[in-house]
Amino acid sequence: MSAFLPFTSLSPLELDPIFESAKSAAAAGPNAINGTIGVILDEEGYVLRLRSTKKALNLLHENEPLGYSPLAGVPEFLEAAKKLVLGSAEPIPCIASSGGTGALSVLLRLAHATGIRKVILPTPTWANHQRVITAAGLEIEEVEYLENDQPSFDALSDKLSSLTEPHIILLHACCHNPLGLDPLRKQWQKLSDALKSTEHLPLLDFAYQGLGDGVEEDVYAVRLFKDADIPCMIAWSASKNHGIYGLRTGAALVLAPLEEHVTIQQHLEIISRSIFSVAPVTGQHIVAITQEKFYDEWMQELADVRESLERKREVLAQIVPVLSDRCANAKGIFLTLPITDEQSIELQKQNIFLAPGGRLNIAGIPEGRMGELAEGLKGCVLD
């Protein structure tokens, strides 16, 4: 081996905390209660396979197109994603991406290309946001997302009115990760009114459509900004709502005045080309076929998942009353529990695994084991 050590200047990095916690849960064996990574599991602890997307995959198998798609993505997928997000396949700038993370990356780079350099990030937030933002060459300014334990845009609005330059504002469109607590509709409306008179650019991270109140209900914030003519970027993911996490399927959409559409689309395509060229196509075909042929079944399956999440929150609230407010207000697959890292390590001795910060993915726990989880948490969160 050569004596040349070209990589010694690299400093060691902390590994990804969520993937690391998932690794520990997996290493603990099939009996572990795995509330770590944000994946929806079935009663046996396997990744939930939706019947609708499975049927779409079977149809695709025979003749799966293996070539490159156009740079923007598979046209039928783009149409399906736009319909889900906007209600109709409007001709807005839109590009397929490698999951919701890819969409965030592309959109943050697009915003960077306009000259914006800073992102206002209400925290706590998904642990990967910080990395994706800095990798796009942008700086982060954090503001508090909670006030008296409830979502609030007050700190954000104060911040916005004090800024003289345009900033990106990164918000969870629904099913906040890691808190599971979303703003009320009147709070969104107030924010929308405040944004109308500014030049700040919202980026809505939309990774959980259909897992909050419903496929249509969860688009509230997107449509509110659209109806108010607020330029806005949307990072949409098909990972969770189609159960195709590893197929890396998502879309980046941009709401902007018509005269800007052509240039925005060119930028989206060239940014994508420079990061991952074209997005993977298999998941795009699955989404397109699911939406075209198995829509009703897919809607029912998402309703079933939501009901199951609700029942699980009820069990938790019943056995651990101190969590009942959190459970009553929560949307989506996550809750953040009021426990310390030491308590989390103690829980691992009982085979219960959470993501760092006390984040619990209730979609990862079989209904049949919610009682066991709740009993395990009981001592911990009451201390």
Ligand X SMILES: Cc1ncc(COP(=O)(O)O)c(C=O)c1O
Q: Which residues bind ligand X (CB under 6 A)?
A: 38, 99-101, 126, 172, 177, 205, 207, 237, 239, 245, 250
Shortest gap between Cβ of 361 and ligand X (angstroms)? Answer: 10
Q: Both tokens of residue 313?
A: 């929150």
Least separation in angstroms between CB 260 and ligand X: 25
Q: Closest approach of Cβ 172 to ligand X, in Å?
A: 6
Which CB sits closer to ligand X, 205 or 269?
A: 205
How many angstroms separate the CA atoms of 320 and 178, rounded? Answer: 19
What are the backbone angles phi and psi of residue 361, rounded to the nearest 5°?
A: -90, 100
52 vs 239, beta carbon nearer ligand X = 239
Q: Nearest approach, Cβ of 132 to ligand X (angstroms)?
A: 9
How many other CB atoms are there within 10 angstroms of residue 351's CB atom? Answer: 16
Give the shortest CB-206-to-ligand X separation in angstroms. Answer: 8
Q: Are the C-beta atoms of residues 180 and 147 closer than 8 Å to each other?
A: no
In the complex, least distance from residue 262 CB atom to ligand X, rounded to whole angstroms: 27
Residue nearest to ligand X (CB): 99
When the beta carbons of 152 and 237 are compared against ligand X, the nearer one is: 237
Least distance from C-beta 9 to ligand X, angstroms?
Answer: 30
C-alpha 69/C-alpha 281 separation (Å) is 7
* 278 or 380: CB nearest ligand X: 278
Q: Give the residue with the Cβ less far from ligand X, 239 or 272.
A: 239
| Residue 246 or 379 with smaller CB distance to ligand X | 246
Residue appearing with tokens 């009703």 = 296
CA distances from 137 to 110, 131, 235, 256 (A): 11, 10, 18, 23
Q: At what angle do helices 282-293 and 51-62 cross, to 10 degrees?
A: 120
Could you tell me the smallest distance in angstroms from the CB atom of residue 136 to ligand X? Answer: 14
Buried b (16+ CB within 10 A) or exposed e, 124-139: bbbbbbeebbeebebe
Pairing of strands 232-237, 201-206: parallel
Residue closer to ligand X, measured from CB, 245 or 353: 245
Nearer Cβ to ligand X (283/376)? 283
- For 180, the 3-state DSSP assignment is coil
Partner residues linked to 97 by β-bridges: 250
DSSP 261-310: HHHHHHHHHHHHHHHTSSPPSHHHHHHHHHHHHSHHHHHHHHHHHHHHHH
